Amino acid sequence: MTRTGTKFGRKMEDAVAALLTQRNIDEAAKSVGISTRTMLRWMKEPEFKEAFRIAKRASYDQAVSRLQHAMPLAVQTMLKVLLDPATPPSVRVRAAEVVANHSHKAIEIEDVEARVTALEEAAGEQGKR
């Protein structure tokens, strides 16, 4: 995130990181050693906004990746609950509903991806003419 030749320095980089890890703006500012007023002013600057947006996206992507790694266990748990005759019927019905809904969404996503691919290929062929 280092930006040479600009006023975006180490302190601003630390401020971006603090905004991701602290509970609020006041605590983020304090952890970096700046005033809340300075933090709020920086947050209005385009370069800071962009750095913060990129950092938030990276943090979100990392969280999603962790969830994806846990997906096999989640599916295994859901199926175990669904198939266990000792599980109360209402819980089994809910498990079945969750499995069905997620399966349906996966099919919808595959369909959309196929349509987008077809449109991109068609647009590419038209661009060559």
Interhelix angle for 25-32 vs 10-21, to 10°? 140
Where exactly are the structural domains of the chain? Answer: 1-69, 84-129
Question: Each residue's pLDDT tens digit in the chain (129 positions)?
Answer: 444 445 679 999 999 999 999 999 999 999 999 999 999 999 999 999 999 999 999 999 999 999 999 999 999 999 999 999 999 999 999 999 998 999 999 999 999 999 999 999 999 888 777
Q: Which amino acid is at 100?
A: A
The pTM of this model reads: 0.61
Three-state SS string over 87-113 comes to CCHHHHHHHHHHHHHHHHHHHHHHHHH
How many residues does this entry show for the chain? Answer: 129
